[in-house]
Amino acid sequence: MTLAPNSELLRPILHNSDPKTLATEILKSLTYRLGKDTSVATPHDWLTASIKVVRDRIIERWIESTKSAYEQKEKRVYYLSLEFLIGRLMRDAFSNIGMLDNMREALALLGVELDVIAKLEPDAALGNGGLGRLAACFMESMATVDVPAHGYGIRYVHGLFRQEFSDGWQVELPETWLDHGNPWEFERRERSFEVGFGGTVESVTSKDGRLERHVWKPSERVLAVAYDTPVVGWRGERVNTLRLWSAMPVDPILLEAFNAGDHIGAMRESNKAEVLTQVLYPADSHLAGQELRLRQEYFFSAASLEDIVQRHLSQYGELLSLPDKAAIHLNDTHPAVAVAELMRQLMDAHGIDFDTAWDLTKRTFAYTNHTLLPEALESWPVPLFERLLPRHMQIVYAINAQVLLEARAAQKFDGEQIGRISLIHEGSDRRVRMGNLAFAGSHSINGVSALHTDLMKETVFADLHRLYPGRINNKTNGITPRRWLIQCNAGLTNLAREAIGDAFLDDVNLLSGLDPLADDAAFREKFAAVKRANKQRLSSLVGERLGIKVDPSALFDIQIKRIHEYKRQLLNIVEAVALYDQIRSHPEKDWEPRVKFFGGKAAPSYHNAKLIIKLANDVARVINRDPAVRGLLKIVFIPNYNVSLAEIMVPAADLSEQISTAGMEASGTGNMKFALNGAITIGTLDGANVEIKERVGDDNIVIFGLTAAEVAERRANGYKPRDIIEGSPELAQALSAIASGVFSHDDPDRYRDLINGIYDNDWFMVAADFDAFTAAQRKVDSIWRNSPEWQAKAIRNVARVGWFSSDRTIRQYASEIWNVPV
């Protein structure tokens, strides 16, 4: 599970951290901080006591890091994200600060097993999927590569819902990660700001009648209170801050009502404030579209901007140097209203003129686009925006006037193009386009893979790109190798340390030293043994949680990610049904035993995604029970996919399913985690798969299907899925089995509409890619049959994907976007 005890390389960087001293401190912490005696201490108490002991060491470093940023006048990075999908923190922090082994020994001295209490830590699921996980990896990498940074987000009381299955259907249960308190966080009451909503805007004029400034008089106010969590980089050299805002009622309002005897009214007021940060919207790659969501976006953007501006002012005493000392990054458009908010603060609170404020704003902000899906591009109805944020609406109009002026002056846009550049979508349903606002207000707009960035230039931002060339750039996503290799795959980490030494722990690119060992039979066997142990661990989990027995010697084929039609879990399920037919009709062939694993949550309002989960479970029930399958194919859908589950599943994968419709997955990061842990990818030429292929080489990845250009071409020229289905007997048979109720006797029509959708429209090109996908799967079988060949390819994957470290990504952001030294 963890690094071998011989960790002089993970030198306990702080004095007095030998196991005996730590054991004494854990006991003290239990007694004086928790008020518990060992005889009554619960495992949770041990967890909290242990975290607080390590946290004390981290705080020393935290204070040093903060002080040095101040004294050295370092430029700071502010990463604004509505989501941080952090997962558990204990192992991450203990390991990064070099105290994991000593803490394990210290706890053992007290008769407590670290690995047991580690599992009690709740998964901080303050995010939906890839976007939120990226923010978490970035926070860790910024601390690691020594970038002074603050993450800003929301402290949701309820993170992403917990998923259970009831008769194969997804049920959503509330996530209650704060039930036992959160030993990592510090509440900072003194760091709180009022955030306004609604009301009116007044203009103040000077004696001679000139407009001096605007004053926004909000009708509602809530208090944003900061909660800080330290983020420890690898080897603990720098500790940065993740500052999450919690909403509280502004006291005076509440007290007035209460004192006037209106107790219910006071409570209502209090609930109204607190509801703001109660829940994370569970929509991934989909516009939430609710007023509360816009309130959340403004709430955390405004509080963060106040905090940033105040910090800058208190250090430098003026704001003209803001772009030199602060880089504010927008993770997608969720915080895009921050562009208007900074303008408001600069102009209305600090008396800076529009032109200067606009120049400062553009030089301070940068924006990352995460999706081209039209249903995910944020826009807000003008009336709603105006009612909630009247001053910001004025500012958006003023910015828009400036942008449209520049567009007309360029003399290269027709009316339609100008219409697409506008921050306002005109028509009967006038809307504020948050992507255009973020683009206009930023000096850098980046995509998250080479393909996605190219498509961005050609599609959503084609006109803005022509107006402001040079702003769009690519930063291919990455993952932190600490969590996604060192911590989740100790077996592979230790094997690599034995084989090539420890240097790769500090520079994961050095895993390239494993490349020649792909041809070494003895090493391949050790590598296979590590994989086998990881598969055994997953098998045990599946046995315990689901009562399903899976054979660790079978090929473990894994697709884990949010359920979305573009990610094409349906293609995978249809292929499983076709394989089921083949196994039964050709029992003479030597089929390779396979277990297909699924994991992922569906947005509660996403009908087809939930139906796809039910289908996977229905198909699993039939196939897993059919004796004619002879155990050659099993399907296992593990509920409640989250970071902790990923940490068990990724190291256990032989085959990584990355099969999105080409052009629709911006990057993917799951694909990177799997390759780093020695799985072979079966995938389309989409997102970062393209770059993974370039790095691992064509022979070490299985690519199939239409390219993004071919998908676009088919859609443009009249794609006829019905003809394709009629020409593919395997596909036709699988689809008709599903549609006719073979897997749903209790409700034979359950999947009729879903399957008809493939015949009639098939936007996601399941039919077009089906034959290529099955052929690719049979190619996978043939590689699998030759075990040395399989292991060699898997080893080459590990050796060649160090580039996908988020350390690399962050260094590129630092030097090419933020202008921060690394």
Ligand X SMILES: *Cc1c(COP(=O)(O)O)cnc(C)c1O
Q: Pairing between strand 162-166 and 169-173?
A: antiparallel
The answer to whether residue 12 forms part of the interface with ligand X (CB under 6 A) is no
Q: Toward ligand X, which CB reaches closer, 26 or 136? A: 136
* Least distance (Å) between residue 488 CB and ligand X: 10
Region of 125-133, 425-433, 610-618, 761-769 interacting with ligand X (CB under 6 A):
125-133
Contacts of 513 (CB under 8 A, 6+ apart): 499, 500, 501, 504, 799
Q: Toward ligand X, which CB reaches closer, 656 or 774? A: 656
Q: Toward ligand X, which CB reaches closer, 573 or 643? A: 643
Q: Toward ligand X, which CB reaches closer, 287 or 666? A: 666
Q: Toward ligand X, which CB reaches closer, 148 or 600? A: 600
The answer to whether residue 162 forms part of the interface with ligand X (CB under 6 A) is no
* Least distance (Å) between residue 95 CB and ligand X: 18
Q: Compute and round to an integer the Cα radius of gyration of the chain.
A: 27
Q: Toward ligand X, which CB reaches closer, 239 or 376? A: 376
* Least distance (Å) between residue 608 CB and ligand X: 17
Q: Toward ligand X, which CB reaches closer, 309 or 486? A: 486
Distance CA 640, CA 619 (A): 19
The answer to whether residue 642 forms part of the interface with ligand X (CB under 6 A) is yes
Distance CA 691, CA 591 (A): 32
Residue 193 near residue 221 (C-beta atoms within 8 A): no
The amino acid sitting at 452 is H
Q: Count residues near ligand X (CB under 6 A).
A: 11
The answer to whether residue 130 forms part of the interface with ligand X (CB under 6 A) is yes
Residue number of the CB atom closest to ligand X: 670
* Least distance (Å) between residue 136 CB and ligand X: 9
User: Residues 535-564: x/- map of binding to ligand X (CB under 6 A)?
Assistant: --------------------------x---
**What phi, psi does 226 have (nearest 5°)?**
-85, 140
Contacts of 461 (CB under 8 A, 6+ apart): 369, 435, 439, 445, 472
Q: Toward ligand X, which CB reaches closer, 162 or 295? A: 162
Q: How crowded is residue 815: how many other Cβ atoms within 10 Å of its Cβ? A: 12
The answer to whether residue 441 forms part of the interface with ligand X (CB under 6 A) is no
Distance CA 18, CA 555 (A): 43
Interface residue with ligand X among 34, 232, 395, 646 (CB under 6 A) is 646
Distance CA 623, CA 551 (A): 16
Q: Is 50 exposed, middle or buried (0-12, 13-18, 19+ CB in 10 A)?
A: buried
Contacts of 801 (CB under 8 A, 6+ apart): 511, 672, 675, 676, 692, 695, 696
The answer to whether residue 129 forms part of the interface with ligand X (CB under 6 A) is yes
> What's the start-to-end Cα distance of the chain, in Å?
32
* Least distance (Å) between residue 222 CB and ligand X: 30
Distance CA 757, CA 766 (A): 10
The amino acid sitting at 775 is A
Which of helix, strand or coil describes residue 391? Answer: helix
Distance CA 162, CA 179 (A): 14
424-425: strand order across its sheet: 379-381, 431-433, 424-425
**What phi, psi does 240 have (nearest 5°)?**
-100, 180
Interface residue with ligand X among 53, 643, 724, 776 (CB under 6 A) is 643
Q: Toward ligand X, which CB reaches closer, 235 or 673? A: 673
* Least distance (Å) between residue 302 CB and ligand X: 29
H helices then E strands: how many in the chain?
33, 24
Tell me which residues are annotated as active site.
Answer: 370, 561-562, 567, 669, 673
The amino acid sitting at 802 is G
* Least distance (Å) between residue 180 CB and ligand X: 22
DSSP state of 441: T
The amino acid sitting at 310 is Q
* Least distance (Å) between residue 616 CB and ligand X: 16
Region of 216-224, 286-294, 642-650, 735-743 interacting with ligand X (CB under 6 A):
642-650
Q: Toward ligand X, which CB reaches closer, 129 or 236? A: 129
C-alpha dist (Å) from residue 159 to 44, 132, 282, 436, 766: 20, 11, 9, 29, 32
Q: How crowded is residue 58: how many other Cβ atoms within 10 Å of its Cβ? A: 22
Region of 40-48, 67-75, 127-135, 151-159 interacting with ligand X (CB under 6 A):
127-135
Q: Pairing between strand 186-197 and 220-232?
A: antiparallel
* Least distance (Å) between residue 131 CB and ligand X: 8
The answer to whether residue 133 forms part of the interface with ligand X (CB under 6 A) is yes
* Least distance (Å) between residue 165 CB and ligand X: 18
Q: Which of residues 653-692 bind ligand X (CB under 6 A)?
A: 668-670, 673
Region of 52-60, 242-250, 610-618, 639-647 interacting with ligand X (CB under 6 A):
639-647
In the complex, the residues that contact ligand X under the rule CB under 6 A are: 129-130, 133, 561, 642-643, 646, 668-670, 673
